[in-house]
Structure 1
Amino acid sequence: MRSSLANQFGVAVSLIVLVGFAVFPMYWMIKTSLTPLEDVFEFPPRFFSSDWTIDAYSRLMDNATLLNFMKNSLIVSVLSALGSLIVATFAAYSFSKFRFSGRNSLMYLILAGQMIPEVLLLVALYLLFDSLGLIETYAALILSFATFTLPLCIFMLKSYFDNIPDDLLEAGRIDGASNFQIMTQIFLPLARPGLVAVGLFAFIRAWNDFIYALTLGGQTRMTLPPGLVLQFGGEFRSLWPDLMAASFVTALPVMICFMFLQKHFIEGLTAGAVKG
């Protein structure tokens, strides 16, 4: 009995520590965004303050440059997610339901692309996009983000398609449906959780990117992560309340998407973990 209570107590303490580890940075970010600039470095720091202010959020809404960065992030992230989802769907369906020579080798080759550090390709991609006149365009960011998300997106969707019985494919062919009709009308509705997981992963990947958005986007197409640093970071002084306010607003779209799509996201990620 005592051993059981001790185990339960240990599990409860561990969960509390883990939850605190996950929640505390978010709390501190919100607290800092509501703290006047002159009180940010107050020592000892106060966990609760009576003179909180929303001035940082007011300045954020009046910052046209930052709003432009947010618009760029939305455009690039949504289009990157859609592009990755479309290409990954066709590729994963082909790898899962068609049998052709070199199928496994090609799949391993695609997965090997996920092992290449992205920063190693930055110079090569910059020179390529520069020769094509795509520097400081949405196309450069969308193509680079989609390229790096595709290997894992294809692997995730293939695992989900593998769990859908091939009998449905044969039934569709007997009914006279084309391969495209079978995929769009039979398999895609059944694979909705996997599609949500892949789309959300691609969106978050593009939304959070820093180095490619900074290098390929330039001043006109720069997204929020590098934009926040350039706007509020400095060599001698940083506007921490404004930076934290902008960071919180930046994190909101991802948080909201994950809250509403959490069930599908987890189901899509765990597809293929257990074979029926």
Structure 2
Amino acid sequence: MTTTRSRGRSVGAQRVALWIGLTLGAIFAGFPALWMLLSSFKPNTEIFQFPPTFLPDTFTIGAYTDILTNPEKLRFFINSYLVAGAVVLLTLLAGIMAGYALSRFQFPLKSLLNTVVISVQAVPPITLLIPYFGLVVWLKLYDSLWALVLTYMVATIPYAILMMTGYFNTIPRELDEAVKVDGGNTMRTLWQVLVPIARPGIVSVGAYTFMVAWNEFLFALTLTQSRENRTVPVGIQLLMGEHSFKWSEMMAMSVLGCLPVLVLFLIFQRQFVSGMTAGAVKS
């Protein structure tokens, strides 16, 4: 009886310690985001006052009004949506078809292709900045949204191929054979049978791809020059003037920039987690 009570107390103490640890971690991770949100409702002068205030003394939505009524700043968001949307669609198309081929067919150099895909994922993006810049200039795509789309796809397509290959491997091959018995061809098997089943994996890849394209800063800064082709991360940086920083607008634009990713994750949270788990199986 005493042993049972001691075990119960030990389990209870572990749960309390776990909850305390999780709470501290949540506060540590969430405080910067909360500070950003509250600061976006402060006047620029109040952000600089000392000692700083957590809650706004003067609540204002002026920073949001300035952003949402400024065509140039709205253009940053439009560009980000266009680039991220194009990257997601093209990456999913390439990832689905390549993943299906690697999962279902045997062909020469298949192992080598898998190795190349994994190797591309292992290369740090910063090391490719100068080669990408030279290639984009040579292709006469510098200072265009297509330069960003093609560059981001180099990073997102290998991930999509790996994930979709792993997810297709979890789907029984008997489904393919059943479609062939009914007279269906390869494309019908892929798009009408396997793709609907693989929806969690597709959502997971799409969400990850969107976040990569939406949040990327370095290549967007390097491969574009005119303000009309800038994206949200670069637009936030442009609010840093030579003699003054528009901190309230920077905070407001950061909040608006976080919303698409946050909404996307909240809507597809279950499918995102399910797709990441299922697609991680060994090929």
**Under a length normalisation based on structure 1, what TM-score does the superposition of the two structures give?**
0.95
Instruction: Structure 2 unaligned segments of length 5 or more: list them.
Output: 1-7
Q: Which residue of 2 aligns with 1:29?
A: 36
After TM superposition, list the pairs within 5 Å mapping 1:173-252 onto structure 2: 173-219=180-226, 220-230=228-238, 232-252=239-259
After TM superposition, list the pairs within 5 Å mapping 1:107-122 onto structure 2: 107-122=114-129
**Distance in 2 between residues matched to 1:242 and 1:127, nearest whole Å:** 34
Q: Which residue of 2 aligns with 1:96?
A: 103
Counterpart of 1:198 in structure 2: which amino acid?
A: V
Range moving further from structure 2, 76-85 or 131-140 = 131-140
1:131 aligns with 2:138: yes
Counterpart of 2:191 in structure 1: which amino acid?
A: T
**Distance in 2 between residues matched to 1:49 and 1:40, nearest whole Å:** 9
**Distance in 2 between residues matched to 1:273 and 1:143, nearest whole Å:** 26
**Distance in 1 between residues matched to 2:145 and 2:207, nearest whole Å:** 20
What is the CA-CA distance between 1:236 and the residue it aligns to? Answer: 3.7
Q: Which of 256, 263, 272 is the equivalent residue of 1:265? A: 272
**Distance in 2 between residues matched to 1:126 and 1:48, nearest whole Å:** 44
**Distance in 1 between residues matched to 2:170 and 2:134, nearest whole Å:** 42
**Distance in 1 between residues matched to 2:281 and 2:15, nearest whole Å:** 29
Counterpart of 2:52 in structure 1: which amino acid?
A: P
**Distance in 2 between residues matched to 1:11 and 1:131, nearest whole Å:** 55
Counterpart of 1:7 in structure 2: which amino acid?
A: Q
Counterpart of 1:20 in structure 2: which amino acid?
A: I
Instruction: Structure 1 unaligned segments of length 5 or more: list them.
Output: none
Alpha-carbon displacement from aligned partner over 1:152-206 (angstroms, at most 9, x marks no partner): 1111111110000011111111111110000001100000000001111111111
Alpha-carbon displacement from aligned partner over 1:59-111 (angstroms, at most 9, x marks no partner): 11122211111111000000011111100111000001111222122111111
Range moving further from structure 2, 44-53 or 68-77 = 44-53
Q: Which of 9, 12, 18 is the equivalent residue of 1:11? A: 18
What is the CA-CA distance between 1:22 and the residue it aligns to? Answer: 2.4
Counterpart of 1:31 in structure 2: which amino acid?
A: L
What is the CA-CA distance between 1:272 and the residue it aligns to? Answer: 4.4
Q: Secondary structure at the match of 1:270?
A: helix
Figure out how many residues of one structure are paired with residues of the other and give that number.
274
**Distance in 1 between residues matched to 2:92 and 2:197, nearest whole Å:** 15
Alpha-carbon displacement from aligned partner over 1:95-150 (angstroms, at most 9, x marks no partner): 01111222122111111001112122222222222122111122111111111111
Runs of 4+ in 1 over 3 A off after TM superposition: 272-275
**Distance in 2 between residues matched to 1:2 and 1:138, nearest whole Å:** 60
1:148 aligns with 2:137: no
Alpha-carbon displacement from aligned partner over 1:39-58 (angstroms, at most 9, x marks no partner): 11223322223421111111
Counterpart of 1:221 in structure 2: which amino acid?
A: N
Alpha carbons 1:66, 1:228 under 8 Å: kept: no
**Under a length normalisation based on structure 2, what TM-score does the superposition of the two structures give?**
0.93
Alpha carbons 1:80, 1:145 under 8 Å: kept: yes
Q: Which residue of 1 aligns with 2:4?
A: none
**Distance in 1 between residues matched to 2:252 and 2:237, nearest whole Å:** 13
The RMSD of aligned alpha carbons is 1.4
